[in-house]
Chain A
Amino acid sequence: MKVLIVEDEKSLAYEMEAFLKKSFYLCDIAHSFKNGLEQLELNKYDFILIDLSLPDGDGLEILKKAKQSNPDAAYIIITARTQLKDRVSGLDLGADDYLAKPFYLLELQSRMQAIARRKFSITEELLAIGEFHIDLPKRVVTFGQEKIELSRKEFDLLSYLILHKNRVLTRAQLSEHIWGTFVNDDYDSNYIDAHIKNIRKKLNVWANTEWLETVRGVGYRIKK
């Protein structure tokens, strides 16, 4: 899939590109408003990531223009401006999602996956792991016919790990995903561990969960 990153902060754009490349996205970078418009004229993209505060123009203008040249693309607005007003106008103009800086690249990627599933009808909504099945839209985990009761946060954690299987996710990445924009200065807390412990406890009743690994000092990984 082709991605255009409109971001004036060069090293940030580079990191985004480096991360997305690993998941086989093809990335173009535009460092300015003008550059962004040029790229949009020249190419077709599946994803367009737009930083709102560009030195030579308003990112929302790019969004408006890009909607005409690339009507089928998915748009994610990226900004340090987390004001409600911007958020509303961005979504009004047809952005698919909104990410506030700073964010984890993993979070960006999973938002993109979610949009892809929705927008490009990629249906991998029924995920299987071990002997368990996870239905993302219905938010249920089943073992055979048995439904397993997970709390909201536990389900979020488990599905996030599965969507990024074979990759180590740090506690901070996981907690950013489940807490979102909620401010919690509890950075040293072990609540991710506590949730994982609960998930294991609930699943172990039915089958073993060796696929959910603890990576010492770093975080967790689902191996498949």
Chain B
Amino acid sequence: MKLSTKLTLFITGSKLVIVLLFVLALPFLVKQIASEYTNYTLKQQRKQVLSIVGKNGLDYYFQGDQNYGSYTMLKEEFIALLPVDKGVSMNFIKDSQRLIESDTLNYRVLSYTFKNKGKNYLLEIGKTTTSINQYNKPLQRFALYVLIFLIVLTILIDLTFIRMLIRPLEKIISSKLINRRFPFKDGQKRIQTSTADFKYLDESLILLMNQINEAFYKEREFTSNASHELMTPISILQNKMENLLADETLDEKSAMAIIEMMKTVDRLKNITKSLLLISRIENEQYIRKEEVKPLLLFNEIIEEISHRLEEKHIQIFLDISPEVILKGVNKDLLFQLFFNLIHNAIKFNRHNGKIFITEKHLSNNAYEITIRDTGIGIPKQDLPFVFDRFMKTNLEGDVGYGLGLAIVKSIAIYHQIQISIQSEIGEGTTFKIVFPES
């Protein structure tokens, strides 16, 4: 899952949890607030009552009665004053029932004792509990709307910010990690960002890519230089032997020995030539501008190699349409690629074996050529290494220097051809060559 998706999910999820918690806690909270507020009003009212009483005197209210009581018509509130014993002292608020005009109602009652002219009085101020809670529902609804609005707003702000924050990372991924082609282009651009972590990541990646490039270039240079340097001594050896062999007085035994030596030098020459070829392909010294008909190419190769086919009585089945044209390729290199594959298909085939060359047009405009043989196959554990240079198989005897497939691989990479191999011991080997689009 992408980081941005994860963050989006996390933010939305966490906000939803908060909303849920808030919705659950809301009735309780609102009730609490209403209750606190009521207590506060009661206390305010007590203060007012006491100050009025202080101003007017208690008698003004009692008017000869033993006590005083006042309430509205709806009995939502009441205020009562009555004298109590000297020892009584009260100052609290609590819910209790009161009987007013034969109605028993639930009130929140503030009870407070105070002294006036040496006597002890009790002041009670009450509010019906129903009136306390009457605003709860609308309040809850309002709070919920505000909350939802705020949450949506913060989610939007968060997502925009995250997108901005992560953009450099996505740029790093798209420019440096996805679709990168080896060797990497020089002068990789730095991603603009103020986030230190991304800067660090970006710079580390550039550094790594440069290091890999450098190692790759060095290896390429080494291969190229080494093979060039080898060419001169090989030339001298080869030409000396050639001159020796041309000597009329040479006896047969010596001639045979020189021939054997020449074969060895030839082998050395071929290894060096193969390495040079690979390094030249890697250095992009071939032009990819030709158009090639694979059918003609295969016919040419089969003609070249027909003696080998006859020698082992191998039948080759070629099923390639004459219309197909591969564009933007190097003909010599493609010839070499298919030659090496067919050559291998013969070399590792058995007597009276078969080779099938078939084609397929893939859905994404790509074109696939398959070369299948009925040979001895390649052990599973060797398959990942067959394209490596100097790979030696465990086969006895008839084995090359392991550069043939390395050449194939470098030609394939150079042409952006995908090549894959399947093999079954005793059944044969199949090479699939996919051309991007032609």
Residues of A at the B interface (CB closer than 8 Å) are 9, 11-12, 15-16, 18-19, 22, 80-85, 100-106, 151, 153, 167-168, 170, 172-173, 181-191, 194-195, 198, 217-219
| Contact present for B231 and A153 (CB under 8 Å) | no
Q: When A19-B243, A172-B262, A195-B307 are in contact, do A183 and B235 touch as well, CB less than 8 Å?
A: no
Closest to A8 in B: B232
0 or 1 for each of B305-316: is its CB under 8 Å from A? (1 = yes): 001101100000
| Contact present for A19 and B242 (CB under 8 Å) | yes
Q: When A170-B259, A190-B311 are in contact, do A19 and B240 touch as well, CB less than 8 Å?
A: no
Residues of A within 8 A of B240 (CB): 11, 15
B218 on the interface (CB 8 Å rule)? no
CA distance A205 to B14 in the complex (A): 94
Q: When A19-B246, A102-B238 are in contact, do A80 and B336 touch as well, CB less than 8 Å?
A: no
| Contact present for B307 and A191 (CB under 8 Å) | yes
- 28 residue pairs from A and B, CB less than 8 Å apart: A12-B236, A12-B239, A15-B243, A16-B239, A18-B243, A19-B239, A80-B229, A80-B231, A80-B235, A82-B276, A83-B280, A84-B287, A100-B231, A101-B231, A101-B235, A105-B239, A105-B243, A172-B262, A172-B263, A182-B335, A182-B336, A183-B277, A184-B270, A184-B343, A185-B400, A186-B343, A186-B400, A194-B307
Residues of A within 8 A of B304 (CB): 153
CA distance A101 to B280 in the complex (A): 15
List which B367-388 residues lie within 8 A (CB) of chain A: none
List which B236-266 residues lie within 8 A (CB) of chain A: 236, 238-240, 242-243, 245-246, 252, 255-256, 259, 262-263, 266
Residues of B at the A interface (CB closer than 8 Å) are 228-229, 231-232, 234-236, 238-240, 242-243, 245-246, 252, 255-256, 259, 262-263, 266-267, 269-271, 273-274, 276-277, 280, 285-287, 303-304, 307-308, 310-311, 332, 335-336, 339, 343, 400-401, 403-404, 407
Beyond the given pairs A102-B231, A217-B252, 18 more chain A to chain B contacts, judged by CB atoms under 8 angstroms and listed by A's residue number, are A9-B232, A12-B236, A15-B236, A22-B246, A84-B285, A84-B286, A84-B287, A102-B235, A102-B239, A103-B235, A106-B242, A153-B304, A170-B245, A170-B259, A183-B336, A185-B400, A194-B310, A217-B256
CA distance A106 to B243 in the complex (A): 10
Closest to B283 in A: A83
Q: How far is the CB of B196 from chain A (nearest CB, A)?
A: 46
Point out the residue from A101, A182, A187 that lies within 8 Å of B266, measured CB to CB: A187
| Contact present for B266 and A172 (CB under 8 Å) | yes
Closest to B227 in A: A80
CA distance A185 to B277 in the complex (A): 12
| Contact present for B232 and A104 (CB under 8 Å) | no
Residues of A within 8 A of B234 (CB): 101-102
Residues of B within 8 A of A191 (CB): 307-308
Closest to B268 in A: A102
CA distance A125 to B171 in the complex (A): 67
Residues of B within 8 A of A19 (CB): 239, 242-243, 246
Chain B interface main SS type: helix
Closest to B260 in A: A217
Closest to B248 in A: A22
Residues of A within 8 A of B270 (CB): 183-185, 187
Q: How far is the CB of B337 from chain A (nearest CB, A)?
A: 11
| Contact present for B228 and A183 (CB under 8 Å) | no
Q: How far is the CB of A100 from chain B (nearest CB, A)?
A: 8
Residues of B within 8 A of A194 (CB): 307-308, 310-311
CA distance A83 to B80 in the complex (A): 115
| Contact present for B243 and A9 (CB under 8 Å) | no
Q: When A22-B246, A83-B280, A183-B336 are in contact, do A218 and B303 touch as well, CB less than 8 Å?
A: no
Q: How far is the CB of A99 from chain B (nearest CB, A)?
A: 10
CA distance A187 to B259 in the complex (A): 13
Residues of B within 8 A of A105 (CB): 239, 242-243
Residues of A within 8 A of B238 (CB): 102, 104
Residues of B within 8 A of A190 (CB): 307, 311
Q: How far is the CB of A200 from chain B (nearest CB, A)?
A: 13
Q: How far is the CB of B64 from chain A (nearest CB, A)?
A: 129
Closest to A178 in B: B304
CA distance A99 to B242 in the complex (A): 17
Q: How far is the CB of A28 from chain B (nearest CB, A)?
A: 18
Q: When A105-B243, A172-B266, A184-B270 are in contact, do A189 and B308 touch as well, CB less than 8 Å?
A: yes
CA distance A151 to B307 in the complex (A): 12
User: Which of A101, A102, A153, A182 has most B Cβ within 10 Å?
Assistant: A102
Q: When A18-B243, A186-B343 are in contact, do A9 and B259 touch as well, CB less than 8 Å?
A: no
